[in-house]
Amino acid sequence: MNLMESAIEAKDLVKNFGNIVALNGASFQVRDREIFGLIGPNGAGKTTALRIISTLLKPTSGTVRVFDVDVVRTPEKVREHISYLPEEAGAYQNLSGYEYLRFMAGFYAREGNGVNEMVEEGERISGLGDRLEDRVKGYSKGMNRRLLLGRALMMRPKLAVLDEPTSGLDVLHAFHVRQTIKEFADRQGVTILLSSHNMLEVEYLCHRVALIDEGSVIAIGTPEALKDRFSSENLEQAFMEATRLG
C-alpha cells in the first residue's frame, strides 16, 4: 500500500436537502490502495458522501478530490477512474447474467479483446458459474448483488465505491461478497471505499474506518486503534462510546 498518496481527500463537506442537513462538515482522507470504511447508522450521511465522491451529487460546500482531481470542477476525469455500486442497484431483468456483463463491458472496454477479458473477469468475480446463462429476473437478491459486484469491479477501476455491498444478503452470499472484495483489493491493488452499518463486517474488511454520525465524522483510525481508543471489544461498542463522548 502506498501510504503517501491520497486516493480521496474530502474536506469540510456539507450537503443540505432543503432544511435537512445530510453532511455537516465531514472530512476524511482515503489512502491509495487501501480498503476504507465509512460506517454509521442509517441516515448518518454515508450514502450522500459516496454520491458526492462519485460525482452524482454536488456538495453545498466543501471539496472532494479523487486522485487529485476535483469532483465538481472536472467530474468527467474522475469518472474515468471510478466505479460506483449503489445500495439499490439493479441489472436488466430480461438479459442473462452473461449478456448483462458483456453489455456493460461494451461501455468501458476500448477494444474487442478488452470486452472479452472484462467479461471473463466479471464472471470470475461474481462466482455464479452456469447461472450466468440464466435471465437476471430469476436471480435471488444475493445472486443479483454478486452479478453487480462483478460489473463494478471487472473494469479494474482505480477506485471502487461500494454502498452497503452486503445489505440484505443471507450469510452465504454476504460471505462471498466480503471475500471477493478483500481478495480483489489485494490482487489488483484497487482502492475501495465502502459504506456499511454492519460494523463487524467493516472491522473484518477495512484497513481504516471513519465513524460518521449525524453528518459529521467523529473518529478515524484502524479498527484496532479505535477499539483501543474507546476501550471497546469491537467497532460497534467503539461507535457507541464515540457518540456518547461526542
Residues 214, 45: Cα–Cα separation, whole Å: 7
Residues 160, 31: Cα–Cα separation, whole Å: 13
Helices (H) and strands (E) in the chain, counts: 9, 10
> Residue 1: pLDDT band by 50, 70, 90 thresholds?
very low
Residues 246, 210: Cα–Cα separation, whole Å: 14
Q: At what angle do helices 141-153 and 97-108 cross, to 10 degrees?
A: 20
Using CA atoms, how far residue 193 sits from 8, 39, 89, 181, 190, in Å, is: 9, 11, 17, 11, 10
Residue 58 pLDDT > 90: yes
Q: Are 209 and 53 in contact (CB under 8 A)?
A: no
> What is the pTM assigned to this prediction?
0.92
State percent of the chain over pLDDT 70.
96
* Nearest to 62, CA basis, from 13, 17, 18, 119: 13
pLDDT of residue 109: 77
pLDDT of residue 100: 96
Residues 116, 235: Cα–Cα separation, whole Å: 41
Each residue's pLDDT tens digit, 62-117: 999 999 999 999 999 999 999 999 998 888 999 999 999 999 999 887 766 689 99
Domain boundaries, given as residue ranges, for the chain: 6-81+159-245, 92-156
Residue 149 pLDDT > 80: yes
Residues 42, 7: Cα–Cα separation, whole Å: 25
pLDDT of residue 2: 47
Domain 6-81+159-245: give its CATH code: 3.40.50.300
